[in-house]
Amino acid sequence: MVDEMNHAEMKEFHVGDVVTATVTEVKEKEAFANAGYKVDAVIPISELSSLHVEKVSDVLTEGEEREFKVIKVGDDELVLSLRAAIADKAWEELKQKYENDEIIEAEVKEVVKGGLVVDVGVRGFIPASLVERHYVEDFSDYKGRTLRMKIIEMDPEENKLILSQRAVLDEEVEAKKKELLESLQVGEIVTGTVQRLTDFGAFVDIGGVDGLVHISQMAHHRVETPADVVKEGDEIEVKILAVDQESERVSLSIKETLPDPWTTIEGKIKPGDVIEGEVKRLVSFGAFVEVAPGVEGLVHISQIANRHIGTPNEVLEEGQTVQAKVLDIHPSQERISLSIRALEETKTTDEKVEKESQPEEDHSGFSLGDMIGDQLKKYKK
């Protein structure tokens, strides 16, 4: 009678069923559970988790009730899997998160060759290249860290789940960049860090966005190479010239943050002054001479020499230091007229005057003293 009642109350099990069972015994490599079958079900240690488990007691305790998946059933045998039951639910949840592009969080359980392993109900793998935005040489201190990730690839049939923390970080950087671009104001002066130098300028990080300081905007004077003004890692002030949010381009200027050199020379250089400078450029109509940092004056071709010349380079060469006389100056118009010829003419005139002021020499062989002396001798006689 009892046997008949027990047989009547006994549940029917099929492979793939998910059942609730109570853990009755925990051993080192397996556990047993009462699922309502004629014998206690066996749960092998390999069926506890998608990751490696040292001992069963790390996962199950006697008396707890859990859901398991039937993986084998026979007359006197019932084998259950905790790992499979968890995985079924996990894949469903992961599929929804993948479709919704959601962020998932998980603790790093293992550091393996090529990346990191996490447990999200199933084994998830983060390739080394998808952990950070920068290169990481040693991942040993990542074990135990909780990471925020997005699903890059998933295949439940192959039990394959590829995750990326870098995807989350990239999106955050892009969002911050967009927010910063929207907040930037043309004419605003901000602080930035020089990231890299090129032949045509310097790229400066102004808080998440790289802006370009073109070589023409590096100083008031002509710059041969950006390295003459800044170096990588320098913290500098720059003025925002233009912002293009669509292309994410920002034009910056160092020059606009510096005092106008023409205002610094006002009142210090006057017509008639003789000043020294370096020949910066030779053009068909004259030479531009730098007389102060960022301030160039023009020596017209007619003012280069006191003789007729066809081109300025007959007399001058770039890089040469010369002296010139200031003929005219208009700082507000950024113009200085200079003359080298005027100094040559002055020098020639001075030499002529000096020559004319010298007493003429008597080439007869007699001096004035000799003549007077002879007369005195005659008088005494």
Contact assessment for residue 232 and residue 195, using Cβ atoms and an 8 Å cutoff? yes
Q: Note the pLDDT of residue 284.
A: 94
- 294 or 107, higher pLDDT: 107
- 244 or 222, higher pLDDT: 244
Q: What is the 3-state secondary structure (H, E, C) of 258-298?
A: CCCHHHHCCCCCCCCCEEEEEEEEEECCEEEEEEECCEEEE
Q: Note the pLDDT of residue 11.
A: 74
Interval 85-128: pLDDT, tens: 999 999 999 999 999 999 999 999 999 999 999 999 999 999 99
Could you count the other beta carbons within 10 Å of the beta carbon of residue 171? 13
Distance of alpha carbon 151 from alpha carbon 96, whole angstroms: 11
Q: Note the pLDDT of residue 100.
A: 95
- 349 or 53, higher pLDDT: 53
Check if CATH label 2.40.50.140 holds for domain 184-257: yes
Amino acid at 340: I
pLDDT band at 293 (very low <50, low <70, confident <90, very high): confident
Q: Does the structure show a pLDDT above 50 at 365? A: no
204 Cβ contact list (under 8 Å, min separation 6): 192, 193, 194, 195, 210, 211, 212, 213, 236, 238, 252
Question: 262-355, what's its fold?
Answer: OB fold (Dihydrolipoamide Acetyltransferase, E2P) (2.40.50)
Q: Does the structure show a pLDDT above 90 at 186? A: yes
Contact assessment for residue 237 and residue 257, using Cβ atoms and an 8 Å cutoff? yes
Domain positions in the chain are 14-85, 101-170, 184-257, 262-355
Q: Note the pLDDT of residue 348.
A: 60
pLDDT band at 38 (very low <50, low <70, confident <90, very high): confident
Distance of alpha carbon 204 from alpha carbon 193, whole angstroms: 5
pLDDT band at 8 (very low <50, low <70, confident <90, very high): very low
Same fold, 14-85 and 184-257: yes
Q: Note the pLDDT of residue 381.
A: 46
End-to-end CA distance of the chain: 189
For the domain bounded by 101-170, which CATH number is listed?
2.40.50.140
Site of tokens 């004035």:
368
Interval 45-95: pLDDT, tens: 999 988 888 899 989 999 999 999 999 998 889 999 999 999 999 999 999
**Among the ranges given (132-141, 173-182, 292-301, 345-354), the one the predictor scored with the smallest mean pLDDT:** 345-354
Interval 228-267: pLDDT, tens: 999 999 999 999 999 998 888 999 999 999 988 888 888 8
Give the residue from 128, 153, 119, 151 showing the smallest Cα distance to 51. 119
If you average pLDDT over every residue of the chain, what do you get?
88
Q: Note the pLDDT of residue 267.
A: 83
Q: Note the pLDDT of residue 292.
A: 87
Helix (H, G, I), strand (E, B), or coil: what is residue 337?
strand
Share of the chain above pLDDT 90, in %: 69
Q: Note the pLDDT of residue 113.
A: 92
Long-range contacts of 14-18 (CB under 8 A, 24+ apart): 14/70, 14/73, 15/70, 15/71, 15/72, 15/73, 16/69, 16/70, 17/69, 17/70, 18/67, 18/68, 18/69, 18/70, 18/85, 18/88
Q: Does the structure show a pLDDT above 50 at 380? A: no
pLDDT band at 366 (very low <50, low <70, confident <90, very high): very low
Element (H, E) at 81: strand 77-81
Distance of alpha carbon 51 from alpha carbon 3, whole angstroms: 41
Q: Does the structure show a pLDDT above 90 at 341? A: yes
Q: Note the pLDDT of residue 368.
A: 43
Interval 136-169: pLDDT, tens: 999 999 999 999 999 999 999 898 999 999 999 9
In angstroms, the Cα distances linking 183 to 127, 186, 245 are 35, 10, 10
pTM, full prediction:
0.60
Superfamily grouping for domain 14-85? Nucleic acid-binding proteins (2.40.50.140)
Q: Note the pLDDT of residue 237.
A: 96
**Mean pLDDT along residues 304-311:** 92
Q: Note the pLDDT of residue 370.
A: 52
Q: Note the pLDDT of residue 371.
A: 47
Distance of alpha carbon 190 from alpha carbon 168, whole angstroms: 28
Count how many Cα atoms sit within 13 Å of the Cα of residue 264 in the half-sphere of its side chain: 10
Q: Does the structure show a pLDDT above 80 at 6? A: no
